[in-house]
């Protein structure tokens, strides 16, 4: 079974339903023959990865979609680091932050290897590009040493490979990398654009989608197109024919975070904190990004607590969110924030009962 979000993912730059001016700029770059390093950034679900894959197809043709997944082991000193790579004859894609504190060495090894096997200068005469492409996901999660190593590697191998860097928050990417890349911002689609895409998907599937339900899905998805299409599919499974006021299916991980928030508000004790710690570990092990857990958990708590608690909780949330970004073990900072929130909330409840 193929999800609708993958089944109807645009394959070409012309097939994208929003951001036409950006697609036209990319087509002009490809037509020019050469290609710079690029930093593609924007919110989740805006279409960054879709544009990168459409760009690779524009560069190399349909063969860029002949992907294979391989697990590679890099020997770094006395340690072995295993990474999952996605590659085609023309490019390689990886998430170097998966290597943890060994990301610097992995970045250097992968780019060095692909640069040494890049096409020779005369390959362009045979219809090939004279360089290969390395796609790096979640660049903002790379450590600072890895980012500085990436900057040096970009300069050294610029003649034989190009880097396509994908990130959500460019402010976490060091300035030397940003200055060496063409920065392209992929804006989140508007609610009307999401409704247009949902209507197109529903039509291709032979579904009748009411305009009211489409707008409710677009609003609930917070301009995340991927989430909107997944929500449409979940609604189809839950109930069809559609109605304007049918309930929207909430992702399981969001419901799980709401349950954690209810537990925290129900009881504030070391025993409860220990129980919540296990739930946080379960969320992180399910590959939910820690910063997203923190954000949704804060929203769920603030919705259900009094105004005086909200102000103090937001103050502490800002402190622990910064520590979460700067630290390594995310669960420590998530648990510390919840411990602080429990203290603030319990103090308020005791004072209000006097």
**Is the pLDDT score of 211 beyond 80?**
yes
Q: What is the pLDDT of residues 112-164, one digit of tens each?
A: 777 666 554 444 444 456 677 888 888 888 888 888 888 888 888 777 778 88
**Residue 152: what pLDDT?**
83
How many CA atoms lie less than 13 Å away from 129 in the CB half-sphere?
25
How many CA atoms lie less than 13 Å away from 288 in the CB half-sphere?
21
**Residue 156: what pLDDT?**
81
Nearest to 98 by CA among 69, 73, 78: 73
Q: What is the pLDDT of residues 20-47, one digit of tens each?
A: 677 777 777 777 666 788 898 988 888 8
* DSSP category for residue 206: T
Q: What distance in Å separates the CA atoms of residue 266 and residue 272, rounded to the nearest whole number?
A: 9
**Is the pLDDT score of 337 beyond 70?**
yes
**Residue 339: what pLDDT?**
92
Phi, psi of 75 (to 5 degrees): -90, 115
Q: What distance in Å separates the CA atoms of residue 23 and residue 58, rounded to the nearest whole number?
A: 11
Q: What distance in Å separates the CA atoms of residue 88 and residue 66, rounded to the nearest whole number?
A: 6
How is 40-64 classified by DSSP, letter by letter? EE--TTSSHHHHHHHHHHHHHGGGG
**Residue 50: what pLDDT?**
86
**Is the pLDDT score of 97 beyond 50?**
yes
How many beta carbons lie within 10 A of that of residue 140, not counting itself?
17
Place of tokens 């247009």: 196
CA angle 104–108–110, rounded 5-degree value: 115
Q: What distance in Å separates the CA atoms of residue 173 and residue 170, rounded to the nearest whole number?
A: 5
Q: pTM to 2 decimals?
A: 0.78
Determine the distance from the C-alpha atom of residue 59 to the mean position of all C-alpha atoms in its chain, rounded to a whole number: 24
**Residue 30: what pLDDT?**
73
How much is the average pLDDT of 300-307?
87
- For 183, counting Cβ atoms within 10 Å of its Cβ (0-12 exposed, 13-18 middle, 19+ buried), the class is middle
The per-residue pLDDT of the chain, averaged, comes to: 82
Higher-confidence residue: 217 or 80? 217
Least-confidence region, from 157-166, 220-229, 265-274: 157-166
Higher-confidence residue: 147 or 103? 147
**Is the pLDDT score of 76 beyond 70?**
no
Q: How confident is the model at residue 234 (pLDDT cuts 50, 70, 90)?
A: confident
Residue 144 tokens read as 């600072």
How many beta carbons lie within 10 A of that of residue 97, not counting itself?
18
* DSSP category for residue 118: S
Q: What is the pLDDT of residues 166-201, one digit of tens each?
A: 988 888 888 888 888 888 888 888 889 889 888 888
Nearest to 266 by CA among 312, 305, 311, 317: 305
* DSSP category for residue 247: P
Alpha carbon distances (Å) from 202 to 50, 208, 234: 20, 7, 13
Judged by DSSP in three states, 123 sits in helix
Q: What distance in Å separates the CA atoms of residue 91 and residue 162, rounded to the nearest whole number?
A: 9
**Residue 298: what pLDDT?**
92
Residue 192 tokens read as 């009307």
Nearest to 45 by CA among 184, 186, 180: 186
Q: What is the pLDDT of residues 44-66, one digit of tens each?
A: 888 888 888 888 888 777 777 77
**Residue 133: what pLDDT?**
83
How many beta carbons lie within 10 A of that of residue 351, not counting itself?
9
* DSSP category for residue 13: G
Q: What distance in Å separates the CA atoms of residue 131 and residue 60, rounded to the nearest whole number?
A: 11
Q: Residue ranges of the alpha helices (H) in the chain?
A: 4-7, 20-31, 48-60, 103-116, 144-156, 175-179, 191-204, 211-220, 225-238, 252-266, 270-285, 290-303, 307-326, 330-353
């Amino acid at each position: 079974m193929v999800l609708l979000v993958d089944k109807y993912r645009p394959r070409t730059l012309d097939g994208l339903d929003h951001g036409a001016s950006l697609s036209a700029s990319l087509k002009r770059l490809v037509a020019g023959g050469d290609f710079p390093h690029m930093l593609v950034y924007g919110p989740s679900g805006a279409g960054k990865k879709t544009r990168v894959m459409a760009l690779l197809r524009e560069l190399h043709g349909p063969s860029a979609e002949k992907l294979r997944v391989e697990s590679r082991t890099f020997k770094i000193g006395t340690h072995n680091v295993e990474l999952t790579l996605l590659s085609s004859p023309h490019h390689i894609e990886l998430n170097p932050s998966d290597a943890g504190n060994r990301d610097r060495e992995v970045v250097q090894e992968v780019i060095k290897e692909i640069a040494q096997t890049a096409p020779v200068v005369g390959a362009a005469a045979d219809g090939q590009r004279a360089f290969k492409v390395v796609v790096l996901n979640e660049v903002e999660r790379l450590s600072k040493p890895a980012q500085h190593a990436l900057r040096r590697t970009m300069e050294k191998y610029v003649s034989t490979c190009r880097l396509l860097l994908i990130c959500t928050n460019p402010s976490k990417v060091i300035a030397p990398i940003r200055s060496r890349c063409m920065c392209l911002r992929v804006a989140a689609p508007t609610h009307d654009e999401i409704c247009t895409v949902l209507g197109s998907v529903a039509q291709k599937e032979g579904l009748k989608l009411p305009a009211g339900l489409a707008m409710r899905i677009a609003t609930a998805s917070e301009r995340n197109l991927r989430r909107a299409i997944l929500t449409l599919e979940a609604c189809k499974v839950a109930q069809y024919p559609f109605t304007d006021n049918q309930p929207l299916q909430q992702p399981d991980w969001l419901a799980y975070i709401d349950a954690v928030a209810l537990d925290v508000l129900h009881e504030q004790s070391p025993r409860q904190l220990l129980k919540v710690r296990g739930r946080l570990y379960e969320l992180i092990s399910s590959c939910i990004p820690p910063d997203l857990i923190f954000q949704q958990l804060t929203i769920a708590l603030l919705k259900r607590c009094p105004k005086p608690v909200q102000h103090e909780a937001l103050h502490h949330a800002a402190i622990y969110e910064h520590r979460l970004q700067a630290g390594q073990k995310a669960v420590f900072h998530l648990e510390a924030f919840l411990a602080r929130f429990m203290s603030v909330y319990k103090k308020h409840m005791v004072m209000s009962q006097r």
